[in-house]
Chains A and B, each alone.
Chain A
Amino acid sequence: MIKLKINGQEHSWDGDPNLSLLWFLRDEAGLTGTKYGCGVALCGACTVIVDKEAARACITSVSDVVGREVTTIEGLHATGDHPVQKAWRQLNVPQCGFCQVGQIMQAAALLMENPKPSHDQIREAMSGNLCRCGCYQRIENAIHLASMGV
């Protein structure tokens, strides 16, 4: 039996300990905010925060996060008003929206580590998160906006 802490809540799992965190979150815990996009850490759609760092849930197994704190989009902010989420809405960032949860989690992790990232630092930190609709200009602007505390 594996015990996991996700968004401050205890979860237990008695199945395959190598099951990826992504499918545990989505299919077993019902936390569908975290998305599947590629399964091999190439797109960032499944980004969650483990302790204080962004992680790709698709290549993280449930046993990898035992004793650690997993934060998903559902736990990022109680009312959805994290500065990144607010900036995202203010700039109308999303188009289809599917990748946006991963983008937001990655951006939130970036700002935790570096509250005032530069243009180049934003582009580097976000380069693992794909957006097929092409919202990149607004993603970058929204991270600037969030970092400015507007």
Chain B
Amino acid sequence: MNILANPRKLRGFEQFVRPIKVEKVSRRSMLKALGIAGGFVLAAPVMSRPAFAAYQTGADKMPHGTVVDPRVFVAIAPDGIVTIVAHRAEMGTGVRTSLPLIVAEEMDADWSRVRVQQAHGDEVKYGNQDTDGSRSTRHYLLPMRQIGASARTMLEQAAAKRWGVPVTEVKAVNHEVLHDASGRRIGFGDLAADAGKEQVPAIDSLKLKDPKNFRYLGKGEIGIVDLHDITTGKAGYGADVRLPGMKYAVIARPPVTGGKLGSFDSADAMKVSGVEKVMEVKGWPWPSKFQPLGGVAVIARNTGAAIKGRDALKVTWDDGANGKYDSVAYRAMLEDAARKPGLVVRKEGDVDAALKSADRVIVGEYYLPHLAHVSMEPPAAVADVKGDRAEIWAPVQSPGGTREDVAKTLGIPEDNVTINMTLLGGGFGRKSKCDFALEAALLSKELNAPVKVQWTREDDVRHDFLHTVSVERIEAGLDKNGKVIAWRHRSVAPSIASTFAAGTVHQAPFELGMGLIDMPFEIANIQCENPEAAAHTRIGWFRSVSNIPRAFAVQSMVGELAHVTNRDQKEMLLELIGSPRIVDLSSVKDPWNYGEPYSSYPIDTARLRRVVELVADKGGWGRSVPKGHGLGIAVHRSFVSYIATIVEVAVDEKGKLTVPQVDTAIDCGTYVNPERIQSQIEGAAIMGLSLAKYGEITFKDGKVQQKNLDDFPLLRIDEAPLVTNVHIVPPGPDTPPSGVGEPGVPPFAPALINAIFAATGKRIRALPIGKQLET
């Protein structure tokens, strides 16, 4: 079949077929560029200050805040090559391209003469580098523009001085500074030495480019800088680092969280060809943030031998207090807790009275199990510890935090720790936790040699920092006219905070703020509660975090309410969202709001309504579909972006589910690279479908029951939606940028579940779908 013969395939295809200029970035040329004297001086004093101008962000509340200094981020070599530092972690969002692109835009640099240099983990120098929470563009669009504008101003000042003309008469255009009056021009490379001597302009004095004149931003025409290397196998991930004399290690870890090593017998392991040593690895008592679990390491000349050696180990474990963790019993306990009053975290009106007076009360109880991240690259790290110095190569989302933790773990000063950021073969929150790098550091110190620690897929599935497990229970009271007058939402789940502090039984503000207390519906009586739940394993951030169960519950309930009141899902949704307004969260003690000031990033129901209308319009809401097909819709604001999704599902007589079409509308404010937004949203549909169909980690006797991709399956290409369309809301003037990496996931599952209901009349309230549709 020719692709062009199929109009369905053609959609969303034509726009990809455009020539993308691929610039190969050679590490050597970058280093050379940076090493050349006379360019910008890189060892600059740190100038940390708040981002300013049209909007405020939470960037400066992050550890180490924001650094706005062109001497830290930009180097220009005499040959004109501009090197721009990428200080955030690249895990597939394209941030390693888009942040430097912002600098290049404001400098008016020619992208083909720009090289990207990955920063080390050094937050004092670069500002916060913790790449999670869908924050990079949101926090760095303005600072990167300011850095680029500073560099441009310094180049213009240097040119003006050289020509003896007022700086107002010159301007930077495409890698040169021009003086129109005399027709003189000079390249960035020729100006580099002089520009480096110019004073860095005050931020308040900077003139930012008029967005009308943007060459790169908002266009989506620049391919990611690693594209060529990725397609040729040269891209360097954590496990690809090789050092002379390096040893290969795999570790047997306690199967129960909080368990300890009993005894081990290494005799058989040592007989395996290539195995060199078997040794104990220090573990920390649970909870201990990201510290290693401990266990027994097998050291070998290659990873294959290390794995074989580990298979031959005889180990006993003391399971400890979590040895009774059982997912079936735990679910029953969560359900029980959700049926009783809990800590009130939002209260408007009188929900008890309103439910009592309601004509009808609809109750929905929704269950979402633990999920494992399972990035395609299992955790791996290389460490080279020599005396009181450590160098680490690792795919970490938080290189600054990793540096801190390595220093603490080894008892050496942070200044003595170098964190080299490799590419991440997927992160999804797993690689926010640097336990694997700490293991490598401990082993390297003991062995006095460079060590690579490779997690096998089994290790990854069994020892993850899992997505929490939750019951969300919603009671909605309707009056005689079918209007919702009361809404009680109880959310019970072990908190991520339990990984940091023993005895945690309530969710933290950052979890409550993900779709519970920030619920945007216009209802007179609202109460949100958080009953207690204790953790029995390591809980961590998983892409979109608590928004996944919350959007699943809230948006499924909208579908249920539409059904019982005999209304169209979309109409029901818009009625609940209510009038265009800024949602008043004054009744909430800590609204969190993704760490952003509410003044810049309020919950704006006009924007929520707009994505619903846009996706309904573009996605053909209400279109007639074949028998056995159904349409479902859901909307959710997360990471301060607004996203609505329509899923068309087809369920055959046997209950086999396929997805012919997905449409998603996203309003993420001002954006940098719409092509990468599109790819993130396409991917979010796959992840959403994957977790809805299959995602489930269960425990028995304290141990994870799954081990690899056979019993924790991920969606495959033959099950992928036939077409996924992405519709991006054009930003209004000065709309602050908001998140993209995560917000695509939460609305997918409820849109799918609502579609399944439309197709089959079956309401699924527990994920994964698994065999629930089978007949």
In the complex the two chains form, what is the Cα distance from A124 to B682 in whole Å? 20
Partner of A85, one of B18, B232, B235, B272: B232
Determine if B273 is an interface residue (Cβ-Cβ < 8 Å). Answer: yes
The verdict on A19 contacting B305 (CB below 8 Å), with A95-B683, A136-B686 known, is yes
Convert B682-723 into 0s and 1s, putting 1 for each residue whose CB lies closer than 8 angstroms to a CB of A: 111111001000000000000000001110001111101101
Partner of A129, one of B6, B12, B274, B717: B717
Which residues in B have their C-beta under 8 angstroms from that of A134?
682-687, 690, 715, 720
CB pair A16–B457 under 8 Å, yes or no, is: no
Determine if B374 is an interface residue (Cβ-Cβ < 8 Å). Answer: yes
In the complex the two chains form, what is the Cα distance from A97 to B231 in whole Å? 8
Which residues in B have their C-beta under 8 angstroms from that of A145?
3, 17
**Chain B residue at minimal CB-CB distance from A34:** B233
Which residues in A have their C-beta under 8 angstroms from that of B252?
none
CB pair B235–A97 under 8 Å, yes or no, is: yes
CB pair A19–B714 under 8 Å, yes or no, is: no
Chain B residues numbered 705-752 whose CB sits less than 8 Å from any CB in chain A: 708-710, 714-718, 720-721, 723-724
CB pair A96–B303 under 8 Å, yes or no, is: no
Binds A, one of B140-148, B219-227, B625-633, B643-651: B219-227
Which residues in A have their C-beta under 8 angstroms from that of B233?
31-34, 72-74, 101
Which residues in A have their C-beta under 8 angstroms from that of B424?
96
Determine if B387 is an interface residue (Cβ-Cβ < 8 Å). Answer: no
Partner of A33, one of B234, B308, B378, B679: B234
Chain A residues numbered 98-126 whose CB sits less than 8 Å from any CB in chain B: 98-101, 104, 118-119, 122-124, 126
CB pair B303–A135 under 8 Å, yes or no, is: no
Determine if A27 is an interface residue (Cβ-Cβ < 8 Å). Answer: yes
Partner of B425, one of A39, A80, A96, A126: A96
- Which of under 10, 10 to 19, 20 to 34, or 35 or more describes the interface residues of B? 35 or more
Determine if A131 is an interface residue (Cβ-Cβ < 8 Å). Answer: yes
Nearest-CB distance from B505 to chain A (Å)?
Answer: 32
Determine if B91 is an interface residue (Cβ-Cβ < 8 Å). Answer: yes
Convert A122-150 into 0s and 1s, putting 1 for each residue whose CB lies closer than 8 angstroms to a CB of B: 11101111111111111111001100101
CB pair B716–A94 under 8 Å, yes or no, is: no
Determine if A66 is an interface residue (Cβ-Cβ < 8 Å). Answer: no
The verdict on A95 contacting B93 (CB below 8 Å), with A22-B304, A23-B304, A24-B304 known, is yes
Determine if B178 is an interface residue (Cβ-Cβ < 8 Å). Answer: no
Partner of A119, one of B6, B17, B231: B6
CB pair A33–B232 under 8 Å, yes or no, is: yes
Partner of A96, one of B426, B456, B708: B426
Which residues in A have their C-beta under 8 angstroms from that of B199?
none
Determine if A92 is an interface residue (Cβ-Cβ < 8 Å). Answer: yes
CB pair A36–B239 under 8 Å, yes or no, is: yes
Determine if A56 is an interface residue (Cβ-Cβ < 8 Å). Answer: no
CB pair B228–A119 under 8 Å, yes or no, is: no
CB pair B457–A96 under 8 Å, yes or no, is: no
CB pair B20–A89 under 8 Å, yes or no, is: yes
Determine if A26 is an interface residue (Cβ-Cβ < 8 Å). Answer: yes
Mostly helix, strand, loop or mixed at chain A's interface? loop
Which residues in B have their C-beta under 8 angstroms from that of A63?
none
In the complex the two chains form, what is the Cα distance from A104 to B230 in whole Å? 10
Which residues in B have their C-beta under 8 angstroms from that of A101?
230, 233
Nearest-CB distance from A87 to chain B (Å)?
Answer: 9
CB pair A132–B426 under 8 Å, yes or no, is: yes
Determine if A12 is an interface residue (Cβ-Cβ < 8 Å). Answer: no
Chain B residues numbered 291-306 whose CB sits less than 8 Å from any CB in chain A: 301-305
Which residues in A have their C-beta under 8 angstroms from that of B214?
none
Determine if A42 is an interface residue (Cβ-Cβ < 8 Å). Answer: yes
Convert B1-26 into 0s and 1s, putting 1 for each residue whose CB lies closer than 8 angstroms to a CB of A: 11100100100110011111010000
In the complex the two chains form, what is the Cα distance from A132 to B423 in whole Å? 15
In the complex the two chains form, what is the Cα distance from A88 to B20 in whole Å? 11
The verdict on A97 contacting B226 (CB below 8 Å), with A26-B303, A134-B685 known, is yes
Partner of B223, one of A38, A89, A123: A89
Partner of B717, one of A24, A45, A140: A140
Convert B371-404 into 0s and 1s, putting 1 for each residue whose CB lies closer than 8 angstroms to a CB of A: 0001111100000000000000000000000000
CB pair A35–B377 under 8 Å, yes or no, is: yes
Determine if B567 is an interface residue (Cβ-Cβ < 8 Å). Answer: no
CB pair A94–B682 under 8 Å, yes or no, is: no
Nearest-CB distance from A42 to chain B (Å)?
Answer: 4
Nearest-CB distance from B513 to chain A (Å)?
Answer: 26
CB pair A92–B223 under 8 Å, yes or no, is: yes
Partner of B426, one of A27, A34, A118, A133: A133
The verdict on A15 contacting B20 (CB below 8 Å), with A22-B304, A92-B223, A104-B231 known, is no
Determine if A28 is an interface residue (Cβ-Cβ < 8 Å). Answer: yes
CB pair A96–B91 under 8 Å, yes or no, is: yes
In the complex the two chains form, what is the Cα distance from A22 to B709 in whole Å? 18
Convert B447-487 into 0s and 1s, putting 1 for each residue whose CB lies closer than 8 angstroms to a CB of A: 00000001011100000000000000000000000000000
Partner of A15, one of B93, B226, B273: B273
**Chain B residue at minimal CB-CB distance from A82:** B231
Nearest-CB distance from A47 to chain B (Å)?
Answer: 11
CB pair B375–A132 under 8 Å, yes or no, is: yes
Chain B residues numbered 188-230 whose CB sits less than 8 Å from any CB in chain A: 223-224, 226-228, 230
CB pair A43–B679 under 8 Å, yes or no, is: no
CB pair B231–A80 under 8 Å, yes or no, is: yes
Which residues in B have their C-beta under 8 angstroms from that of A8?
none
Which residues in B have their C-beta under 8 angstroms from that of A85?
231-232
**Chain A residue at minimal CB-CB distance from B460:** A38
Which residues in A have their C-beta under 8 angstroms from that of B16?
90-92, 138, 141
Nearest-CB distance from B246 to chain A (Å)?
Answer: 9
The verdict on A148 contacting B3 (CB below 8 Å), with A37-B376, A94-B230 known, is yes
In the complex the two chains form, what is the Cα distance from A124 to B161 in whole Å? 65
Nearest-CB distance from B371 to chain A (Å)?
Answer: 12
CB pair A98–B17 under 8 Å, yes or no, is: no
CB pair A131–B376 under 8 Å, yes or no, is: yes
CB pair A36–B92 under 8 Å, yes or no, is: no
Partner of A135, one of B223, B232, B683: B683
**Chain B residue at minimal CB-CB distance from A23:** B304
Nearest-CB distance from A70 to chain B (Å)?
Answer: 14
CB pair A43–B377 under 8 Å, yes or no, is: no
Determine if B639 is an interface residue (Cβ-Cβ < 8 Å). Answer: no
Which residues in B have their C-beta under 8 angstroms from that of A90?
16-20
In the complex the two chains form, what is the Cα distance from A28 to B301 in whole Å? 9
Determine if B428 is an interface residue (Cβ-Cβ < 8 Å). Answer: yes
- Sample of 14 further A-B pairs with CB below 8 A, known A19-B305, A43-B709, A101-B230: A15-B305, A16-B305, A19-B302, A27-B242, A37-B376, A73-B233, A92-B223, A92-B224, A98-B237, A98-B423, A119-B6, A128-B716, A132-B374, A135-B682
11 residue pairs of the A-B complex, CB under 8 angstroms, read A38-B457, A43-B376, A74-B232, A90-B20, A91-B16, A95-B93, A96-B427, A124-B718, A138-B16, A141-B9, A148-B2
**For the complex of A and B, 6 pairs with smallest distance between CB atoms:** A33-B233, A134-B686, A98-B425, A23-B304, A96-B92, A134-B683
Give B contacts to A, CB under 8 Å.
1-3, 6, 9, 12-13, 16-20, 22, 90-94, 223-224, 226-228, 230-237, 239-240, 242, 248, 272-274, 301-305, 307-308, 374-378, 423-428, 454, 456-458, 675, 679-680, 682-687, 690, 708-710, 714-718, 720-721, 723-724
